[in-house]
Amino acid sequence: GESVGLHLPTLSVQEGDNSIINCAYSNSASDYFIWYKQESGKGPQFIIDIRSNMDKRQGQRVTVLLNKTVKHLSLQIAATQPGDSAVYFCAENNAGNMLTFGGGTRLMVKP
């Protein structure tokens, strides 16, 4: 079936650098995408979302980019901090009621 996936299982960055986490999706009918952050021992936490009629959306230190042509989603974190260390999931809503999650990318921030 159609699914959401991620290119890199682990991303290691230096503190202060920018991080880019990527996600590929295959369902062209998906109209809404969300990035979640999951810290160890906790439930996923909403970071930022984007609708399919947008290409870019910015939050505080985070930016989500959507490229519908190649069905690609990315999360950019500026000036990565140790507190950003976590697993990041993308999720899609393909016009249904529930979300389909990707496999997750672990972000490790080196001091």
Partner 1 sequence: NAGVTQTPKFQVLKTGQSMTLQCAQDMNHEYMSWYRQDPGMGLRLIHYSVGAGITDQGEVPNGYNVSRSTTEDFPLRLLSAAPSQTSVYFCASSYAGTGNVAFFGQGTRLTVV
- Is residue 61 part of the contact set for partner 1 (CB under 8 A)? no
Contact characters 6-35, partner 1, x per CB under 8 A: ---x---------------------xx-x-
- Is residue 68 part of the contact set for partner 1 (CB under 8 A)? no
Radius of gyration of the chain (CA): 13
Three-state SS string across the chain, please? CCCEECCCCEEEEECCCCEEEEEEECCCCCCEEEEEEECCCCCCEEEEEEECCCCEEECCCEEEEEECCCCEEEEEECCCCHHHCEEEEEEEECCCCCCEECCCEEEEEEC
Residue 28 CB contacts under 8 Å (≥ 6 apart), including other chains: 68, 71
The binder of partner 1 chosen from 19, 104, 107, 109 (CB under 8 A): 104
CB of 89 to partner 1, least distance (A): 6
Distance, CA of 96 to CA of 64 (rounded, Å):
22
The binder of partner 1 chosen from 66, 102, 107, 109 (CB under 8 A): 102
- Is residue 51 part of the contact set for partner 1 (CB under 8 A)? yes
- Is residue 59 part of the contact set for partner 1 (CB under 8 A)? no
CB of 64 to partner 1, least distance (A): 13
Residues that bind partner 1 (CB under 8 A): 4, 9, 31-32, 34, 41-46, 49, 51, 89, 93, 97-104
